[in-house]
Amino acid sequence: MAKRKKEDNIEKSNPLADNVHIKGAGTVQNEIITDTLKNNYMPYAMSVILSRAIPEIDGLKPSHRKLLYTMYNMGLLQGGTVKSANIVGRTMQLNPHGDGPIYDTMVRLSSGNESLLYPYIQSKGNFGKAYSKNMMYAASRYTEAKLAPICHELFDDIKSDTVDFVDNYDNTMKEPTLLPVTFPSILCNVTTGIAVGMASSIASFNLKEICDTTVALMKNPDHCVSDTLVAPDFVGGGFVLYDKEELDKIYETGRGSVKVRARYSYDKKYNCIDITQIPPTTTSEAVIDKVVELVKSNKIKEISDIRDETDLSGLKITVDLKRGTDPDMFMNKLYKMTPLQDTFSCNFNVLIKGRPVVLGVKGILNEWIDFRLECIRRRISFNLDKKKKQLHLLKGLSKILLDIDKAIKIVRETDNENEVVPNLMIGFGIDEVQAEYVAEIKLRHLNREYILKRIKDIELLENDIETLEATLQSKNKMKKIIISELETVSNKYDTGRKSDVLYDVEEVDVTETVEIADYPVTLFLSEQGYLKKIKTANLRLSGEQKLKEGDKMLPEIECSNKDELLFFTNMCQVYKSKADDFIDNKASVLGEYVPSKLEMQENEQVVYMAVVNDYSGYMLFAFENGKFAKVDMASYATKTNRKKLINAYSSKAPLAQAMYIREDTDIVLCSSSGRMLLINTAGILPKTTKDTQGISAMKLKKTHKVVSMHLYKEGEFEKAWRFRAKNLPAAGALLSEADIAEQITF
């Protein structure tokens, strides 16, 4: 009984018990996953596309527009700067996404950050730099800002009913859906955004070139854009590599890519290169990191130091060159191998009347012209309506001129205030609006001079109204207004191109510029894979070779610094390198760990190193099962710079020994039973297939295997004919007592 009562209490305290009236609550419903995604994800995707990531025809995203409009309402188009924190807080009345994203937006729009070719915000304080990821901007409480002068072109028409206004997120304020920009701002600043399933990447162009192109299109719809629009122009400067075919593709379709190259100068006195402008797609840290990486991998050897010397005067990356380095050839090498030459990918995706569309430059300008024509039409209509209302009032005032005393008498003799307007309407035959206007005239203005001056304005207003109506009826006249505004903007804000254009740039093959020093070296490779390269001239001064505990040094090899090294591994692979890739060392160090330097796989170890200079000769492979392979060394030569070759030798049986020979010679195979077989390699046909199994060379019993292979030394055997077989495979012979004694003396 007590247990039942306890369960009843639990049921009463369960909050779900109060929700039994909700339809479908607590039940599992089967729903197709595609329907769930469509119903739940599509609204989010549309919100990101339409309200966040993709710019509209005024060149702004909603976050940009809300911020700039807030600053405009704060009166920051004139006067001094105010704290950024104040601006951010006020912007939250329109943008509810938090102060962090708002301040990030403000930083990008500022002149101090150098993200935009024509920044909308004048900044004061540390706003960071777009070309450096480490130069972070200060907190909003430390910085100040105001609207830049160019924002006059964004807001001067906004009070003339040129654009629509909507409620903000809590219906307490109004905000514009677009700004009535007087120039094609969408193509004057870089705009990038990633939405859901689509993205936008719009390059920036020079203001004067864009305005000239727009004017030319308005005069001639068939105008060729490339005649007036040379190439994109980026805030970071640099050089744009001219590619007419690719640029025409961007102008026509809105898709394509532009190559941008860094700008540098050579200081002969200090033998260094100063890089002062870089592509907009990279940062100074990325450039330095890439150069350091190339130096560590021995792909660049012409520099002695690289450092970031950026200061208040701007970006500066300094590269100290080694003596004798050609700076121009070296920079061509850096252009090829680092982000100092990069590609800006274009995807001109724009929201046109709430619909994302990818348009070329010509298409965007035509859409902007239509947008601006509508703004001009609405502005003229607004001014026309305003002047008509004023004319209507003045015409009522002109009737008062006929008898001012009568008007005064009507007002004085009217007992009730609310009857003044009706009595004036009756006395002079004017409507209520006109009578209200007359009734509000100050006593000091009830003189003939004042009224005559106002009446003279009637003629001016009638002329203005006639002109405005004529303009409103003529599309060509409205276009002339736009053309005049564009010319004014061009003359007022043009600062010249920042990115120069390079024509007919020749691609330089950087492999031809690599020169490797040629001097004799001695290579020391240990069994555990440590390699030391010591200059032969310094070898006599070297002491005992340092090794890890339990490691053993393999026979040393004398060669040139220009020779190639082939490292055969226990995983049947070969890694190609150059002796020059390894630094000159001393006997007192362990050397460089080859598996790590060549980025070998886990547990992959070097089993043999071959030193070659012309890929002549043969590779010999002796396998534990008695097989013997002779592979032409040319099979390992590659036309490309591949660093790794798979299937370097057969994996069918364990490898006993590998050996490189320049010409045919005698070699000795040794088995675990003590037998030795003398073979002349000239009797074995070479193979071009690297992983060939070869031929059966040595007969073995089931429990025995081949353990090693070495070059035959003259006099090694007392009776060499005993170990040499007429036909293969052969079992070989055991050492005699005389042979054993001879082995000890070697």
What tokens does 198 get? 């689509």
What tokens does 721 get? 């004919």
Count CB atoms within 10 A of the CB of residue 691: 17
**Residue appearing with tokens 């007087």:** 182
Distance CA(177)–CA(603), nearest Å, equals 63
What tokens does 223 get? 């105008």
3-class secondary structure, 431: coil
Count Cβ atoms within 10 A of the Cβ of residue 568 and give its class: 0-12 exposed, 13-18 middle, 19 or more buried: buried
**Residue appearing with tokens 């004048």:** 122
Sign of CA dihedral 657, 663, 664, 667: negative
Task: Report the relative pairing of strands 174-176 and 341-347 from DSSP bridges.
Answer: unpaired
Which residue type does 179 have?
A: L
Distance CA(239)–CA(252), nearest Å, equals 23
Cα Rg of the chain (Å, integer): 43
Q: How many CA atoms lie within 13 A of 266 on its CB side?
A: 10
- The question of whether 142 is a catalytic residue gets the answer yes
Which of 245, 187, 232 is CA-nearest to residue 211? 187
Give the N- to C-terminal CA distance of the chain in Å, as an integer.
103
Segment (H or E) for 576: strand 574-578
Q: Is the peptide bond before 280 cis (omega within 30 degrees of 0)?
A: no
3-class secondary structure, 191: strand
| CA distance to 217, 246, 251, 348, 499, per residue, from 226 (Å) | 12, 11, 8, 17, 17
What tokens does 105 get? 């937006």
Distance CA(486)–CA(354), nearest Å, equals 26
3-class secondary structure, 467: helix
Distance CA(644)–CA(598), nearest Å, equals 9
DSSP 584: B
Segment (H or E) for 349: strand 349-352
Task: Report the relative pairing of strands 500-502 and 239-241 from DSSP bridges.
Answer: parallel
Task: Identify the active-site residue in 142, 169, 270, 519.
Answer: 142
DSSP states of 96-156: -S-HHHHHHHHHHHBTTTT--SS-SEEEES----TT-SSSPPPPTTT-EEEE-GGGHHHHT
The catalytic residue positions are: 142
